[in-house]
Structures are given as C-alpha cells and as structure tokens.
Chain A
C-alpha cells in the first residue's frame, strides 16, 4: 500500500513536471507564435489577389477556397483597411485602384466595380492607421494621388488638389504611423520627397528642405514605429540610407553611420513592430539582410546574415505580431516564411509558406 502511494505520488510529480515543461509548439528561446488572421497576396500575372488564412501559432498560410480572386490588370501593391473589411490594389496595367470586399466567413474577395482611376502606372499604396486616407504613387505620371475612404463601403473619393506632383518615377511610399508625414522615393533621382499630410483631406504640402538626398535608385521606404527614423533602400548603390525625422516639421537629416551596406539589389525594407530590427530584401543576391536599430541614433548594426530566400525576392512583410517575416519570391513563385528570434532579430529558420502558380508581388496582413 505504501509503495503504491509513493509510486503514485512520484508519477504525479513527473506528470506535473512534464506538463509544466510543455511550451505549446516547443519553440526555441526568443520565438513567439503567430497571432493568426488573414493575409492577401497581389499576383500581377494572374490579375488577381490570393487570400489566405494564417494559422495562429505556426504562421502557416492556407489558401481559402476559390483563391485567387480576379481583380484589376497587374496588381502590384496591396493594402488592407484597418477594419479588415476592404482590400485595395494598385493596378499597374490598368492605371487604376481596385477595391475588394472581404467575406469574413469564407475569406472570399469580391471586387467592387467600377475601379477608381489613378495616375499612370501606379506602383505603391499607403493607408493611414484610421483607414481614412489612401495614397497612390503613380510612377509614369510622376504624381501622388490621394483619396478619402468611406468607412461604410470602402469607396474612394479623390481629394481636392489630387494628384500632387512629386519627383521623377516615384516607386515607393511610406506614411508615418501618426499619418502626419508622407515620404516618396523618386527612383530616377537620389531623392526622397517629404510631405506633411493635412488631416481630413490628405492634401500634401512639401516639408521644409524637401527633397532629401539619399543613394542612387531609391526603391523602398520604411518608417520606424516611433516615427523617429526613415530607412531607404538604394538599389543601384547596394546601400540603405537612414534618416532622422523631425517630429514637428517632418524634415529629414542623415542618421549616424548612414548609408550602410546591404546585399545586392536592395529592393524592399521593413521594420519590426517593436522598432528594434530592420530587414532588407536583396533581389539580386536572393537573400535578406538583418540589422539591429539603435533607438537613439538610428544607426544600425548588421546581424550575422544574409539569410537565403527564394529566387528574386521582391518584397518582405512582417506579420502583425512580429513573429515571422514573409518574403515574396518572384522567380521561384513562392513565399518564404522566416522565424524571427525576438532576442536577437536573427532569422534562425525558414520554410516555404506557400507556392503559387504565378509570381507573387506583395503580401499584406489584416490586423
């Protein structure tokens, strides 16, 4: 009897210890799980948008039934309304913007016609955190179109004064998290144009000192969550420029140690939600460079990288939790998912999250 009781007690302690040690997915130190949700991918060659459910925990992507869903001609850039109810794409081929409604039950996207005209060859979209304004960079017409967004049906109405002239061949936009400032990369010139954004209408007014000098072939922009720093990939120079943002005027000044080296052909830049890490996608060297960010100076320190991606990676997006980095690979027609080590910012492991029949251009998460 005593032996049985002791055995039972020992077994119970072992079981409790085992249960306490179970940490869900058994992930290594520094990793956090995905929050799940939905993700959307612009597929230009299919003239469509693919819709995915994101598994909570693993961050795996599963295409919803019926995906991809038809849209405009050659969608290249994509954003989701903060409500999660609407998705927008900039259609390079059609020089317009598509609006999709989202069926929250089935994950189906349904385009609302007619499409909204934009400038010639729109290449980049940005939306403010409130979902009230949409900005479109028009590469061939050298303008930025600004629209107000209806919260009820997601429809777009062009703001007074739009489109606003900007630098030559604008290819990328970045809106500061507060929505106060908009920055535009002019790919033909080593310049970034800065604008203050009028509340409500979204009208653009150049900030003092604009435009600002960066490297040759600016291709992508990212603003840190603190709104202190802007990073710009310089495609021709294979560098990244870091700039400090004046919180009052929006004026940019070069940050410490800027510019810094990247891989070959830096085409996309993104900052993690905590503002600690920077990731640069290098299309020619088929990899991702990772850096830590000094919160006070904006200077960056390269991590032991680069990390191999697929063939011709064209864009990178972090999930809202900052758990994974997803890279769209143009030639390998797939999306690589990198686990992020929260302690170091490194990318210790990667898998192919999904394979598409045609090249993905950009991915966005619904929050």
Chain B
C-alpha cells in the first residue's frame, strides 16, 4: 500500500502538463479499492476492512456532466461485498486536475460464512467523488475516490465507506466553447 502511494506521488510530480480546457468524452477507470464494511450492523464486534478492485466506465454527455457505471468487489476470508451501480457524474476540470462527483444506484451482494454460508442482495446507493490527475493525453491517475455506500443486507442497514485509486484511460474530448463578439457592421 505504501509503495503504491509513493509511486502515485512520483507519477503526479513528473507528469507532463496537458492543454487546459479539455475534457475527455470517455473515461475508463480500473484500480484498487478498500472498503470499510459495516459488519457490526449484523452482529460482528467491529467493522471489517476488505480489499479488492473497482472498475468504472464513464461517458461525458456534455462538458461537466455524464453517466458512469461501476463494478467493484472487496474480499476477505469468509466475507465479501460486491456491487454494480450506475448514475450521473459531475466533472470539473482544472488544469491537469479533474474533480468529479457521482451518485450511483444499483445492487449489492454479500457472502458471509457464519454458521454456514449466508448470502444476501440489496439495493446500494453510493455517493462520492474524487480527483483525477492527467499524466498524458490518454492517461490519468485517479489520486483518490471516496464513496459512502448505503446497503440493507441481512435485515440490517450498513453505512460503508470505500476508497479507490488507480489508472484512468481517456479518449475523445469535449472542448470548451468560447463566446465571440459579433463584428461591428
């Protein structure tokens, strides 16, 4: 984990600046995710940390607004949490940085080994955001993405938190349009 953070910081520090005002049409993120699963809600003595992956393609319809889908899974011995969700995303570019926020709705599924395998599915609502840092015209580093995930698994309500980081592949662009004054007749 520490090595990944150092590599991320080095990548950002040596990145070549991009032209300002550009926003990608399509983004595909893939990387590592860590979830603080609210297992206390169904009888564990504490919340449980799970490690896994996150994958999310996004399509920006207009500058600053698009749609995103997410597939993620986090695991531990005898325990996992997976979700598939979609929703709007809001994007704010600033130089090489791109801030984003999203609201996702979908399904979550969890398997717990307790007195035999216990599996359940529930609706998931995820609210979160983060920061991408462009390192080339096609690639950006997702410095961080944090999400709050609300689930209702095993007849209980969970308040889960997730952190993700990784690489974003981007293509297409939505240029910022500039107003021009009409010439004097």
> A residues within 8 Å of B by Cβ?
51, 53, 62-67, 69-70, 104-109
Set of chain B residues within 8 Å of A105, measured between Cβ atoms? 44-46
Q: Contact at B43–A65, with CB atoms within 8 Å? A: yes
Interface-side segment among B12-20, B111-119, B125-133:
B111-119
Q: Distance (Å) between the CB of B155 and the closest chain A CB? A: 9
Q: Distance (Å) between the CB of B76 and the closest chain A CB? A: 11
User: Digit string of B30-46 for contact with A (CB within 8 Å is 1, else 0)?
Assistant: 00000000000011111
- Closest 9 CB pairs between A and B? A66-B115, A64-B43, A66-B114, A65-B42, A65-B114, A107-B43, A108-B114, A69-B115, A65-B43
Cβ 8 A contact of A106, one of B44, B116, B154: B44
User: Digit string of B153-165 for contact with A (CB within 8 Å is 1, else 0)?
Assistant: 0100000000000
Of all chain B residues, the one with the shortest Cβ separation from A62 is B43
Q: Would you list 27 pairs from A and B whose C-beta atoms are within 8 A, ordered by A residue?
A: A51-B43, A53-B45, A63-B43, A64-B42, A65-B42, A65-B43, A65-B44, A65-B112, A65-B115, A65-B118, A65-B154, A66-B112, A66-B114, A66-B116, A66-B118, A67-B43, A67-B115, A70-B115, A104-B45, A105-B44, A105-B46, A106-B43, A106-B112, A106-B114, A107-B44, A107-B45, A108-B114
What number of B residues sit within 8 Å (CB to CB) of A? 11
Inter-chain CA distance A270–B167, complex, in Å, is 64
Interface residues of B in 122-150 (CB under 8 A from A): none
Interface residues of B in 43-101 (CB under 8 A from A): 43-46
Inter-chain CA distance A106–B116, complex, in Å, is 12
Inter-chain CA distance A86–B42, complex, in Å, is 21
Of all chain B residues, the one with the shortest Cβ separation from A110 is B115
Inter-chain CA distance A174–B45, complex, in Å, is 32
Inter-chain CA distance A67–B43, complex, in Å, is 10
Inter-chain CA distance A62–B112, complex, in Å, is 17
Of all chain B residues, the one with the shortest Cβ separation from A105 is B45
Set of chain A residues within 8 Å of B46, measured between Cβ atoms? 105
Inter-chain CA distance A106–B79, complex, in Å, is 11
Of all chain A residues, the one with the shortest Cβ separation from B78 is A106
Q: Distance (Å) between the CB of B71 and the closest chain A CB? A: 25
Set of chain B residues within 8 Å of A53, measured between Cβ atoms? 43, 45
Inter-chain CA distance A105–B79, complex, in Å, is 13
Set of chain A residues within 8 Å of B114, measured between Cβ atoms? 64-66, 106-108
Inter-chain CA distance A69–B114, complex, in Å, is 9
Inter-chain CA distance A66–B39, complex, in Å, is 13
Set of chain A residues within 8 Å of B116, measured between Cβ atoms? 66
Inter-chain CA distance A105–B118, complex, in Å, is 16
Set of chain B residues within 8 Å of A108, measured between Cβ atoms? 114-115
Q: Distance (Å) between the CB of B36 and the closest chain A CB? A: 15
Of all chain A residues, the one with the shortest Cβ separation from B154 is A65
Most B C-beta atoms less than 10 A away, residue of A65, A66, A108: A65
Q: Distance (Å) between the CB of A64 and the closest chain B CB? A: 3
Inter-chain CA distance A22–B65, complex, in Å, is 46
Set of chain B residues within 8 Å of A62, measured between Cβ atoms? 43
Set of chain B residues within 8 Å of A63, measured between Cβ atoms? 43
Q: Distance (Å) between the CB of B45 and the closest chain A CB? A: 5
Known A-B contacts: A65-B154, A105-B45, A107-B114. Give 14 more (CB < 8 A).
A64-B42, A64-B114, A65-B42, A65-B43, A65-B118, A66-B112, A66-B116, A70-B115, A105-B46, A106-B43, A106-B44, A107-B45, A108-B115, A109-B115
Q: Distance (Å) between the CB of A103 and the closest chain B CB? A: 8
Inter-chain CA distance A65–B118, complex, in Å, is 8
Inter-chain CA distance A258–B45, complex, in Å, is 46
Most B C-beta atoms less than 10 A away, residue of A51, A69, A108: A108
Inter-chain CA distance A366–B45, complex, in Å, is 14
Inter-chain CA distance A107–B45, complex, in Å, is 7
Inter-chain CA distance A63–B115, complex, in Å, is 13
Q: Distance (Å) between the CB of B120 and the closest chain A CB? A: 9
Set of chain A residues within 8 Å of B112, measured between Cβ atoms? 65-66, 106
Of all chain A residues, the one with the shortest Cβ separation from B114 is A66
Inter-chain CA distance A67–B44, complex, in Å, is 12
Inter-chain CA distance A271–B116, complex, in Å, is 38
Inter-chain CA distance A63–B43, complex, in Å, is 7
